[in-house]
Structure 1
Amino acid sequence: MSEEESSAFERYREHVDRPLVRLFREYGVPRWRWMVLGVVANVIAQVASLAPPVVLGAAIDSLFSGNRAYTLPLVPQAWIPVGAEPQFWFSVTLIGGSFLVTAAFTWIYGVVGNEFAHGVMYAVRSDSFEKLLALDMAFFDDKQTGEVMAILDNDAANLERFLDDALMNSLRLVVMVAGIAAVLFKLHPELALVTLVAVPVMVGFTWWFMRAIAPRYRRRQESVADFNTRIENGISGVELAKTTASEPHEVDRVDGAAHDLYRKVMSVLRLSYFYRPGMELLAGVAFTATFLVGGYSLMTGAAPLVLTEPVEVGTFVTFVFMTQRIVAPLAEVSNIVDQTQNAKASAERVFGLSDIPVHLDDPDDAVELTDADGRVEYDDVTFAYDSALMADEDAETVIDGVSIEAEPGETVALVGATGAGKSTLVKLLMRLYDVTDGAVRVDGRDVREYDLTSLRRQVGYVSQDTFLFDGTIAENIRYGQFDADHDAVVEAAKAAEAHEFIRDLPESYDTEVGERGVKLSGGQRQRIALARIFLQDPAMLVLDEATSAVDTETERRIQRALDRLAADRTTFTVAHRLSTVTGADTIVVLEDGQVVERGSHDELLREDGHYARLWRAQVGDVGSVEADGGET
């Protein structure tokens, strides 16, 4: 993907430096106690697991064959009892105790390791979602939902698997290799060299594999995000697909995304399946060499080839057990590398999201906006989408030199063709975007000087595309005013002309609305949104196509509620149906982001300009003008 084609998310991800180190620094260090406890428990468990073959070898050579005195590496001779039978029971105790210690500390590090790993996953998901909500609206104008969902779900899970499995298995591998090497060199240095000769080759093979597979993991994660996006779009648009008989088209698109994911996954697996048998072969070579050299020495009683001293039975048994112990961890290196590279790609995506800057934020000396009068001024406002957050580096200007004033309690209507900039203009008031030039002022102060939360709480926003969260009607009305009591919710619903239909529902205000409010009609959802604004009681009101796409009777009810809502509030209304704005104090006609006309309804009709032509078209043929909901 070229720099011009990549989005902000991809560009920031590409500049993430040492993502796994950063993961530990930002998320591991705050949980260091769990991590340290897990590491210590893991080391104790692995060291204890090495004791049985060592004790068995010593017992064979001393108690069963009588070839030498009973000694154990790292155990002071003063601790070892005198006599064959006491030494036998001492051996039994050591072997049984080592199994008990191994089991106990394996359980401890399993619990502690999961606490650490899942704690990091929880924090990554929580922080990523918090950052997501803090990002500027321009990010969401350019970002696909599936890609973001992949971070919160798939990528966070990959990090958890890395911390839970790969990290602990890496530690286990280090402890096992180091511990086994130490024991083997203590027992028979020359045979130990034979056993461990393959380790340097394994290290080099692993280094090559990690370099070769890293870009394949990155491409696989990108494909996962694309596939999630395609699935999310297909499910969200299922009604359109059915009503246009386009199911085969959607199936083909999902099939294409799934096939791309399949190819990327197989690219990773083909290399992994070359690496894993290779590691197992090298580990097998080490075992075979040990068995060959040690077994031949034991069988002939001589010191063959590289050995200068013969091998005793107990030492050979210990080597065989230890070599088997080292085969499994070395063979698991492939899984560790897989999980590490997978986590690296996921960490790049997580930190790529967290590194995207937030431009719309509170200034250091932010002013609280309380009890606003509602005087609004657009002063020579120009706006173009921030190309740093958009895929299109040449984003065109949407608003160009617009100046509008609204006194407290006045209603300003914005009309014009689709793409004229009406919706964008009202979003500047709430600082969903910031102006490129000029200023938007509330009560004489630039909106960029206000505390963002206090500003938005003074503006009530009702759009054409009403969104309801999955939950009850009461919860959706109370959204943003979470402490409101039931009586206040009911009063707000009555003011919005929603109480009657809510009362007739099976569970009344406790009725579940379903995902995005699918269990309610468009008009019902709109009135619930109005009830939410009544409960908010803002000083300023933005109505963005609030009565479009509903039937005449529903529109009449909604318009009546809107009239009550707009009374004594500064109101900006974006409208396609001009009949709904004839009573506005000022009607502003926009074209290509510029003001081409302004005045009252009667004044604009007398001017016989653009507004008058729109009016005649709607009055003469209401269906001749295409609805323009969802503009930029």
Structure 2
Amino acid sequence: MVRLFAEYGRKNLPFFVVGLLASVLNRLVGIVPALVLGVAIDAVFFQNTAYALPLVPESWIPATVTGQFWLSFWLVIVAFVAGVGLSWIQGLGLAVYSNRVQHTVRVDTYDVLQRLDMTFFDDKQTGQVLSILDSDVRNLRTFLDSTLSGGLQLVVSVVGIAGVLFYLNAQLAAVTLVAVPLLAVFTVWFMRTIRPMYRALRESVGALNTRIENNVAGMEVIKASTTEDYETTRVADASMDYYQRALAVVRLDYLYQPTMELLAGVAFAATFAIGGIWLIFGPPWPFTGELLVGEFVTFLFMTQRFIDPLSGAGRIVNAYENARASGERIFGLTDRDVTVQDSSETVDLGPVAGRIEFDDVSFAYGNGRPVLHDVSFAAAPGETVALVGPTGAGKSTAAKLLLRLYDTSDGAVRVDGHDVRDVSLKSLREAMGYVSQDVYLFDGTVRENLLYGAFDATEAEMVAAAQAAEAHEFVSHLPNGYDTRIGERGVKLSGGQRQRLSIARAMLQDPQILVLDEATSAVDTETELLIQRALSRLTTGRTTLVIAHRLSTIRHADTIVVLDEGRVVESGTHDELVAQGGLYATLWGVQTGDVGGVSADALDRLVDRIREGDVIEQGATTDGGED
């Protein structure tokens, strides 16, 4: 929490100071009516003592009883009016401060989040991330807005009221304040006990959010599989875990809160009993001196105002521990090490010709399982290189290394002779366009999705890109054309339509290097024809790295690199590889239906490779990759 103030609180410190100062003054002003009432009872009504108020000069006090009465009246009125004004200033100041800090924390956390390595997103569930950006950040705002001022008011009330009570009668004040040390000890125990409970509670919130988010995103699959009851059970289990953890916190809170109220109530009862005996029978042992009626009334009022904040200390401690757990999760995210980032010596890539080189590249995901072994190939500017091979061979991993979503374990990936680790990420990725099988479109209009990453493109350029991508015709028939909203992830469009929009988007960005990852594998034959025609326009004059299972789509590539178990086993043109009769020829024969031309041993070896690739793929995905 100290770090929260140090890193985010200083920028808006004036609002914080004004809010807390108003909070302190509000508590001090709240003491005035009870103090004035006690003095008025003794000096004005019973007239058995002189009229005197702390910090008020004697020259300001009227000499007559009537004047003292009206002075008391106006002091009480002014105190109440001042309290209202100070409450408004306190609320506004702290609200502005806490909301500004909340905004800055959320934006900074998101900015750090999107710069983290892909391994973080491979391992972290979406619901956990969303709960950090939403509920955890809101917990910090609540702490800064109300909890912090409540804690300060508690301290001011205890100190201020204790000072007044000792000023009036130090002996009786000792009775009232005897519960404070017990309350402090009990509070320390409560904080230490509830802290791990709140950590577990925040984690369970993230787990529940993840389950619900996943199910909402996969609603089509749930309905098609008729697994509504199964998913309801899973949500119920996650909700029950949250319920049980929340209930554990509530149980402890309900032990703490009534105990605090009991101790504070005992202090009030003791003050009332001893003060009453003192007034009726004289000072009980070991007390001495005189106790006036007005002093006793002030004591009762003050003790009640003293008890109220003490009994509410549980809420303050609860909110603090909740915010502390949220702060740990937020800073736990922002403090993660980032390995894929610019160094102080990186330079911009500059004008890109488009030469790509993989030089003895090896790579392993988090579990240490090798995915690529000494992979080497090159693409001259304007050439098309295709990566093919069984599932799990390492094709998509190679593409991710080119985009520098991950860094190589050994070897180097170069663009125009520059190691991708030596150039800035921004200039590297601006030089590349990426079209994948799993197209992601944002919830917005067609126009917003096409212009994403090319925000300065003109209307004419956008339409020309859509026409080149075979998308203009179907977009024109949408209800609002380019201004039609397409839903989350483009759910209102077909797979082929989404794919053609992604190609148009890549065209608008005008990259010199293209990465096409299974861009046509999930569409029908007719749509594939349209997409292939669009891709042929897109790749003209650009260096292209193509990943494909459908070998018919890459038979005209300048170079075909065949990967198997993370190694380059063959390389050449389509005709050369078919003539060699190796793995590529086997894959080609299977896909074209010419199984008779493939030996049984070759087919068995292919099936074994696919099974092994599934195992490798599963392990890689678990630890941060997918292929």
Alignment TM-score, normalising by the size of structure 2: 0.94
Q: Does 1:225 align with 2:206?
A: yes
C-alpha distance in 2 between matches for 1:252 and 1:592: 40
- Map of 2:569 onto structure 1: 596
C-alpha deviations, 1:217-261, integer Å up to 9, x for none? 111111111111111111112111221222222112111111111
CA deviation after TM superposition for structure 1 residue 395, in Å: 3.0
**2:559 aligned with 1:586:** yes
Instruction: Give the deviation of 1:366 after TM superposition.
Output: 2.2
Aligned pair partner of 1:455 in 428, 436, 456? 428
**Partner Cα separation in structure 2 for residue 37 and residue 174 of structure 1:** 17
For residues 468 and 606 of structure 1, the distance between their equivalents in structure 2, rounded to whole angstroms, comes to: 42
Deviation at 1:417, TM superposition (A): 1.2
Q: Is residue 498 of structure 2 the alignment partner of residue 525 of structure 1? A: yes
1:338 counterpart residue number: 318
Match of 1:142 in 2: 123
| 1:621–1:612 distance in 2 versus 1, CA, 3 Å | closer
Give the letter for the 1:584 counterpart.
A
Aligned to 1:62: 43
Aligned twin of 2:478: 505
1:351 is aligned to: 331
Q: Which of 227, 230, 235 is residue 246 of structure 1 equivalent to?
A: 227
Partner residue, 1:305: 285
* Further displaced range: 230-239 or 532-541: 230-239
The answer to whether 1:425 aligns with 2:398 is: yes
Residue 488 of structure 1 corresponds to which residue in structure 2?
A: 461
Partner in structure 2 of residue 326 of structure 1: 306
Quick one: structure 1 residues 621 and 474, their matched pair in 2 at CA, closer, same or farther if it must change by over 3 Å?
farther
2:259 aligned residue (278, 281, 286): 278
Measure the CA separation in 1 of the matches of 2:255 and 2:417. Answer: 69
Report the 3-state secondary structure (helix = DSSP H, G, I; strand = E; otherwise coil) of the residue aligned with 2:442: coil
What is the aligned partner in structure 2 of residue 379 from structure 1?
A: 359
- Give the corresponding residue for 2:599: none
In the alignment, the residues of structure 2 paired with residue 184 and residue 401 of structure 1 have an alpha-carbon distance, to the nearest angstrom, of: 81
Deviation at 1:370, TM superposition (A): 3.1
Could you tell me which amino acid in structure 1 is paired with residue 491 of structure 2? V
Moved more, 401-410 or 119-128: 119-128
How many aligned positions are there?
604
Q: Matched residues in 1 for 2:218 and 2:492: separation?
A: 17
Distance between the aligned counterparts of 2:594 and 2:103, measured in 1? 57
Once the two structures are superposed, residues 480-536 of structure 1 have per-residue CA deviations (whole angstroms, 9 ceiling, x without a partner) of 011112111111101101000011111000011111111111111101100011101
In the alignment, the residues of structure 2 paired with residue 194 and residue 236 of structure 1 have an alpha-carbon distance, to the nearest angstrom, of: 62
Q: Distance in 2 between matches of 1:314 and 1:84?
A: 16
The corresponding residue for 1:132 is 113
Q: How does 1:12-411 map to 2 (within 5 A)?
A: 20-300=1-281, 302-385=282-365, 387=366, 394-411=367-384
Query: Partner letter of residue 190 of structure 1?
Result: Q
The residue identity in structure 1 corresponding to 2:418 is: R
CA distance in 2, matches of 1:319, 1:190: 12
- Do structure 1's residue 542 and structure 2's residue 515 form an aligned pair? yes
Q: Kindly indicate whether the alpha-carbon contact (under 8 Å) linking 1:371 and 1:539 is maintained by their aligned counterparts in 2.
A: no
Separation in 2, partners of 1:448, 1:191: 74
Counterpart amino acid of residue 289 in structure 2:
E
TM-score (normalizing by structure 1)? 0.94
SS of residue matched to 2:592: helix
Q: 1:587 to 1:110 in 2, by over 3 A?
A: same
Give CA deviations for 1:309-367 in whole Å, capped at 9, x if unaligned: 23211111101111111111001100001001111111000000000011111222322
Q: Aligned letter for 2:411?
A: G
The equivalent of 1:10 in structure 2 is none
**2:600 counterpart residue number:** none
Partner SS, residue 257 of structure 2: helix
Cα distance in structure 2, aligned partners of 1:209 and 1:138: 38
SS of the aligned residue for 2:240 comes to helix
Q: Residues of 1 paired with 2:449 and 2:511: CA distance?
A: 17
Asked whether 1:612 is paired with 2:585, we answer yes
Q: Aligned residue for 1:5?
A: none
- The offset of 1:621, in angstroms, is 7.6
Contact 1:38 1:109 in 2 (8 A): yes
Q: Distance in 2 between matches of 1:237 and 1:517?
A: 14
Runs of 4+ in 1 over 6 A off after TM superposition: 624-630
Unaligned runs of 5+ in 1: 1-19, 388-393
Structure 2: distance between partners of 1:458 and 1:621: 40
Matched residue SS, 1:134: coil
SS in 1 for 2:63: coil
Q: Write the distance in 2 (CA, Å) between the matches of 1:510 and 1:62.
A: 79
> Residue 395 of structure 1 aligns to which amino acid in structure 2?
G
CA distance in 2, matches of 1:238, 1:416: 33
Residues 119-155 of structure 1, C-alpha deviations (whole Å, 9 max, x = no match): 1111111111111100011111111001101100110
Distance in 1 (CA, whole Å) between partners of 2:30 and 2:368 is 64
Q: Distance in 2 between matches of 1:143 and 1:381?
A: 27
Q: Percent same amino acid among aligned pairs?
A: 55
Deviation at 1:430, TM superposition (A): 1.1
For the residues of structure 2 that align with 1:25 and 1:417, how far apart are their CA atoms? 53
Cα distance per residue 1:446-494 (max 9 Å; x no partner): 1111111111011110000000011110110100011112111111101
Whether the aligned pair in 2 keeps the contact of 1:190 and 1:306 (CA below 8 Å) is no
Instruction: Give the root-mean-square deviation of aligned CA atoms.
Output: 1.6
Secondary structure, aligned partner of 2:569? strand
Letter aligned with residue 156 of structure 1:
V
Kept after mapping to 2: 8 A contact 1:125/1:152: yes
Q: How far apart are the structure 2 equivalents of 1:185 and 1:306?
A: 17
Q: What is the match of residue 437 of structure 2?
A: 464
